[in-house]
Amino acid sequence: MVNFELTREYIENLRELISSKNETAIVNLLKELHPADIAEIYEELNLDEAKFIYFLMDDDTAADVLTELEEDDRKKFLDSLPSDVIAKRFIDKMESDDAADVLGELDDQRQQEVLSHIDDVSAAGDIADLLNYDEDTAGGLMAKELIKVKEKWGVSTCLRSMRRQAEEIDEVYYVYVVDNDGILKGTLSLKRMLLSPVDVSVKDIYNSDVISVKVDVDAEDVSNIMDKYDLVALPVVDSIGRLVGRITIDDVVDIIREEAEKDYQLASGIIEDVEASDGVLQHTRARIPWLLIGLFGGILASWVASGHLDLIEQFPALAIFMALIAAMGGNVGMQSSAIVVQSLASGSVGLETNWLKLLKELGIALLNASILSILIFGYNMFFRDDIALTITVTSAMFSVVVFASLFGTFIPLLLNKFKIDPALATGPFVTTMNDIIGMFLYLTIGNLVFTMLG
């Protein structure tokens, strides 16, 4: 493989070769590229150009490229092809999990048409089984291809069976041991098997300490388990413990990336999964709800300020620090909620209760609030000859930082308790609420201080 960089000159050259139907030159141009690089090229071509180069590739490469395409591009491409071509050209060459993912993007009737053109009935059945699982579960992630041996077999029998099974698998991570009913018992080390006498039984040398998940386990939980135990593959079992598939690390990486993108969008106030290529209306629909909430929050903050107009008119210096107090509340709240959301998402919450988390955050908040309050106190004492304003800003800074920290911690914990994605708490909601409360605390404290000292 070469280190590929897509350039405008490369695309123009490829388009000229396609226009002149120079098949040999196109094949030579693409043969050293990784499927992911060819998928990147596809995005710069129109549908007819893409179809032309697709049918010049060998079947395995064409199938790999298809799995690398963005979902929208892949669906448009598949919609332009007859069902028998999809089945024999692509699906036949994919592992069952990738095949199920691709077919899952088609409607039910088209799925059945494609499956009917697959010659291997067993493979078609495996794909059909996977289509029945929710895509966000272990069953929706798993592939049917794996190597399994029975615990009563001898080493020589294992080797013969493994050779046959390995023909259908690209990567062999583990050899799984099952009983006569297909119940997962453990894993078998290739090294130990090769070093054992041929008459030794599998049950005497396999490792019974195996981690597995059931088919209905959430995909995010699967990724956390594989990350925690540093696994490259994870067996999947049904409700009674029968081995039904395996999940490999490449599938989990996709889940981690998708969850990260989703959380990032939620934290940015985008409620739908959108891509840069999506239309104006779709982007607007995804963004406008939180913008409206921010607008409503701003109106509430202005009401809070309008309730203290007399105070601000009498002591206009108060207006100088209004933006600072609001900004600090939003920043502190975002930090606290981001830490909690990160721990919830990674499953690294530990044994702490929600009350312990709040208590810990209170300690952090008090320390941060003290540092910031001392700094703002020193600034006012040095640059401003107004003791009432100094006390107001210092007290408000301390109060707002403590409140924002606890609020930013409490909200994601509350959302998680009610099975709502806690990433929502890191977005405009926390910032908007802290702006309103921060403004209220600042002006209320100002009113008290200036009344007493004014």
| Cα 180-96-117 angle, rounded to 5 deg | 110
Are the C-beta atoms of 213 and 236 separated by less than 8 Å? Answer: yes
What's the confidence (pLDDT) of residue 256?
Answer: 80
CATH fold of 8-141 reads MgtE N-terminal fold (1.25.60)
Cα–Cα distance measured from residue 272 to residue 258, given in angstroms and rounded to the nearest whole number: 13
Q: How far is it, in rounded angstroms, from Cα 16 to Cα 366?
A: 67
Q: What is the pLDDT along the chain (454 residues), one digit of tens a residue?
A: 557 788 899 999 999 999 999 999 999 988 889 999 999 998 889 989 999 998 899 888 988 999 889 888 888 889 999 999 999 988 988 999 999 999 998 999 999 999 999 988 999 999 999 999 998 999 999 999 999 999 999 988 988 898 888 877 877 889 999 999 999 999 998 888 888 888 899 999 999 999 999 999 999 899 989 988 999 999 999 999 999 999 999 888 888 887 777 777 776 667 677 676 677 888 788 778 878 878 888 899 889 989 889 888 998 989 999 999 988 988 898 888 888 877 776 665 544 556 777 788 889 999 999 999 999 999 999 888 889 999 999 999 999 999 999 988 888 888 877 777 776 656 677 788 888 899 999 999 999 999 888 6
* Contacts (Cβ under 8 Å, ≥6 apart) of 123: 92, 96
Euclidean distance between CA atoms 454 and 450, whole angstroms: 5
Q: Give me the CATH code for the 147-257 domain, please.
A: 3.10.580.10
Tell me: the pLDDT tens digits for 152-195? 999 889 888 988 888 778 778 899 999 999 999 999 988 888 88
Q: Where in the chain is the domain with CATH 1.25.60.10?
A: 8-141
Q: Which phi and psi angles does 347 have, rounded to 5°?
A: 75, 15
Q: What is the C-alpha R_g of the chain?
A: 30
Three-state secondary-structure class, residue 243: strand
Q: How far apart are CA 357 and CA 355, in angstroms?
A: 5
How is residue 3 written in tokens? 């280190």
Beta bridge partners of 175: 147, 188
The answer to whether 147 and 175 are in contact (CB under 8 A) is yes
Question: Which of these, 154, 146, 366, lies nearest to 237 by C-alpha position?
Answer: 146
The listed CATH number (3.40.50.300, 3.60.70.12, 3.40.50.720, 1.10.357.20) that belongs to domain 280-453: 1.10.357.20
Domain with CATH 3.10.580.10 in the chain: 147-257
Which tokens belong to 27? 């094949």
pLDDT attached to residue 424: 64
Q: Are strands 233-237 and 213-214 parallel, antiparallel or unpaired?
A: parallel
Q: What is the largest CA-CA distance in the chain?
A: 96
C-alpha to C-alpha distances, 316 to 17, 47, 389, 446, nearest whole angstrom = 72, 64, 10, 11
Element (H, E) at 254: helix 249-267
Rounded CA-CA distance 334/405 in Å is: 8
Please report the pLDDT score of residue 453 as a whole number.
83
* Residue type, position 214, single letter: K
Q: How far is CA 445 from CA 30, 330, 391, in A?
A: 69, 19, 9
Residue intervals of the chain classified under CATH 1.10.357.20 are 280-453
User: pLDDT tens digit string along 56-106?
Assistant: 998 889 889 998 898 888 888 899 999 999 999 889 889 999 999 999 989
pLDDT of 267 reads 65
